[in-house]
Chain A
Amino acid sequence: MSEIIQLAAAVLGTLGFAVLFNIRGKKLLFAALGGLLVWGVYLIAAHITANEYLCGFLASVMLTVYAECMARVHRTPVTVFLVSAAIPLIPGGALYRAMDCLLRRDWEGAADSGSYALLFAASMSAGITLTTVVIRSAWKHFRKERRM
């Protein structure tokens, strides 16, 4: 039950940020759908493994695949969907908690949240960069073969 509520919150949050980023029309809907998909993958991965960074990595792989597909369907830059659908994953809360602990001189809490935010963002970036490289080179290869 709590997971369904979380998914709904993730979709609404993503939709909100998509509006703030001035995404228009049908793309707004697909951005929100991306948020749902990404958080869904994260929750499923969290059932299988206890490693949060691995969950983040897998969800970012899904995010990039979705963004690349949607960018080709809607003929827009990949950034449009990559930035908006990533919203539920972004470790903004952890970043805030790290700084909050720092100001309270809770060094242990700051180290915990800070390293979490940093490593989570790093595993997301790794997932995104890796998938982008694989998809782009596969796409190039595919188009070259079709031309021949």
Chain B
Amino acid sequence: MNITKRDEAEQCLACAMSIGEQLLISGAEVSRVEDTIRRVCMAYGASRVDVFSITSSIVTTMYCDGFSPCTQTRRVTGISNDLNRLDELNQLARRICAKRPAPESIQEDLAKIMEESRYSFPIQVLTYALISGAFSVFFGGDVKDMVSAALIGVLLKCFESFVKRETENTMFTALLCSAAGGFLANLAVRAGLGNHADLISIGNVMLLIPGIAFTNSLRDFFSGDTITGLTRFVESVLLAIIIALGFALPGFLF
């Protein structure tokens, strides 16, 4: 279908914005989000589309011949990496550009994508153990450090899901989790389970530290998205300070 009326244009724009919003939440780069929204709107016959996005907001104005332009904005909160969803949203956007379905069917497809779940809780717990153990060895820990880091990883995942149920503040969650991690690492060394508290901790640190956001912020600078880069840079450095503080806190107890 091609747009002929203003309310049709608004419906199409809303669909494009929803896809862009979900892409951003799933961890797509800002340039991909802007590009996807522009392509979808252009596919429905817009004469010009202006998209501006940063990590927390998207603004789009769509110009069509025959009626006044329409603008929509979205406030985006909470970014979590879900690369499977990103992949499916990308496929959906490609399908829309090729076939131009009615907005109602896009909403259905989008709802279907949103329903798909993540890996189950037990698998995520095992993954935490795997990552902690692997990075403890990666930074030079021995077998005993690896085992205790993996065990602490299991406890951390359970603790984290409990804390996340109570509060939505990421900084506070990170502080509590890292304090628990530091405490358990010191405890493990005291109990003779591990040898080096710092090498056990580093495995657990890697679960929490925003290293990817930090690297991506520099990538944003290089590709010209300065505001996004600045936001992500400040966020990741602040979070890193909080995590370091959390892991240092139990040191006063021992």
Contact = CB atoms under 8 A, between A and B. Distances in A.
A104 to B, nearest CB: 7
Contacts of B206: 13, 92-93
A9 B28 contact: no
B130 interface: yes
Nearest to A2: B140
B248 A20 contact: no
B138 A21 contact: no
Chain B CB within 10 A, most for which of A79, A84, A91, A121:
A79
B222 A126 contact: yes
Interface stretch (B47-55, B189-197, B212-220): B212-220
Contact of B83 (A84, A88, A117): A84
Contacts of B243: 96, 99
Given A5-B137, A13-B135, A17-B131, A95 B211 contact: yes
B202 interface: yes
B215 A91 contact: yes
B199 to A, nearest CB: 11
Nearest to B245: A103
Interface size on B, as a range, is 35 or more
B214 A83 contact: no
A122 interface: yes
B130 A15 contact: yes
Contact of B32 (A77, A93, A126): A77
A129 B223 contact: yes
SS of B interface (majority) = helix
A36 interface: no
A21 B241 contact: no
Given A80-B83, A80-B87, A16 B215 contact: no
A24 interface: yes
A38 interface: no
B241 A102 contact: yes
B152 to A, nearest CB: 14
Contacts of A80: 83, 86-87
B80 to A, nearest CB: 9
Chain A CB within 10 A, most for which of B119, B206, B248:
B206
B42 to A, nearest CB: 19
Interface string B68-106: 000000000000011111110010000000000000000
A83 B27 contact: yes
Nearest to A13: B134
A22 B119 CA distance: 7
Contact of A92 (B130, B211, B237, B241): B211
Contacts of A117: 214
A12 B215 contact: no
B127 A100 contact: no
A10 B218 contact: no
Given A21-B82, A92-B211, 13 more contacts: A6-B138, A12-B133, A22-B81, A24-B84, A76-B87, A77-B32, A79-B28, A91-B215, A92-B212, A92-B214, A95-B240, A96-B209, A128-B219
17 contacts: A10-B138, A12-B130, A13-B130, A21-B82, A22-B82, A22-B83, A79-B27, A90-B214, A95-B237, A96-B247, A99-B245, A103-B248, A124-B218, A125-B218, A125-B219, A125-B221, A128-B219
Interface of A: 5-6, 8-10, 12-13, 15-17, 19-24, 76-77, 79-80, 83-84, 86-88, 90-93, 95-96, 98-100, 102-104, 117-118, 121-122, 124-126, 128-129
The 3 closest A-B pairs by CB, nearest first: A92-B211, A99-B244, A16-B131
